[in-house]
Amino acid sequence: MISAVMPTYARVDLAFERGEGMYLYATDGRRYLDFGAGVAVNALGHVHPHLVAALKAQAEKLWHCSNLYRVPGQEKVAKRLIAHSFADTVFFCNSGAEAMEGVIKLMRKYHDATGRPERDRVIVARGAFHGRTLATLAAGGQEKHLKGFEPMVEGFDHVAYGNLNELRAAIGPDTAGILVEPVQGEGGILPATREYLRSLRSVADEFDILLGFDEVQTGNGRTGKLFAHEWAGIVPDVMGTAKGLGGGFPVGAILATEKAAVGMTPGTHGSTYGGNPLAMAAADAVLDILLSDGFLEQVQRMGALLSAELGKLVERHPRHLMERRGLGLMLGVKCLVPNGAVVDALTANGLLTVAAGDNVVRLVPPLIVEPSHIAEAIDIFDRSLAGLAI
Binding site for ligand PLP (CB under 6 A): 95-97, 100, 129-131, 181, 185-186, 214, 216-217, 242-243
Q: How many CB atoms lie within 10 A of CB 214?
A: 32
| 29-65 exposure pattern, b = at least 16 Cβ within 10 A, e = fewer | eeebbbbbbbebbbbbbbebeebeebbeebeeeeeee
CB 365 within 8 A of CB 329: yes
Nearer to ligand PLP, 91 or 129 (CB): 129
Write out the DSSP string of 39-53.
HHT-TT-BS-HHHHH
Those residues whose C-beta lies under 8 Å from the C-beta of residue 128, and which sit 6 or more positions away, are 139, 140, 141, 161, 179, 180, 181, 184, 187, 214
Nearer to ligand PLP, 253 or 345 (CB): 253
For the chain, how are helix, strand and coil distributed in percent, rounded to 5? 40, 20, 40
Closer by beta carbon to ligand PLP, 101 or else 309: 101
In the complex, least distance from residue 176 CB atom to ligand PLP, rounded to whole angstroms: 19
Query: What's the closest the beta carbon of residue 135 comes to ligand PLP, in angstroms?
Result: 12
Q: Which helix (H) or strand (E) holds 379?
A: helix 371-386
Nearest distance, CB of residue 184 and ligand PLP, angstroms: 8
CA distance 36 to 41: 9
Find the shortest distance in angstroms from Cβ 208 to ligand PLP.
26
Nearer to ligand PLP, 23 or 129 (CB): 129
Q: What contacts 188, CB < 8 A, 6 or more positions away?
A: 127, 325, 332, 334, 356, 357, 358, 359, 360
Residue among 45 and 131 whose Cβ is closer to ligand PLP: 131
Name which of 34 and 214 has its Cβ closer to ligand PLP.
214
**For ligand PLP, the closer CB: 241 or 384:** 241
214: β partners: 240
Q: Are 178 and 123 in contact (CB under 8 A)?
A: yes
Q: For ligand PLP, which residue has the nearest CB? A: 96
What sign has the CA pseudo-torsion 140, 143, 146, 150? positive
Nearer to ligand PLP, 226 or 313 (CB): 226
Q: Least distance in Å: CB of 282 to ligand PLP?
A: 15
Min separation Cβ 64 and ligand PLP, Å: 20
For the CB of residue 100, give the shortest distance to ligand PLP in the complex, in Å. 5
Least CB distance to ligand PLP at residue 144 (A): 16
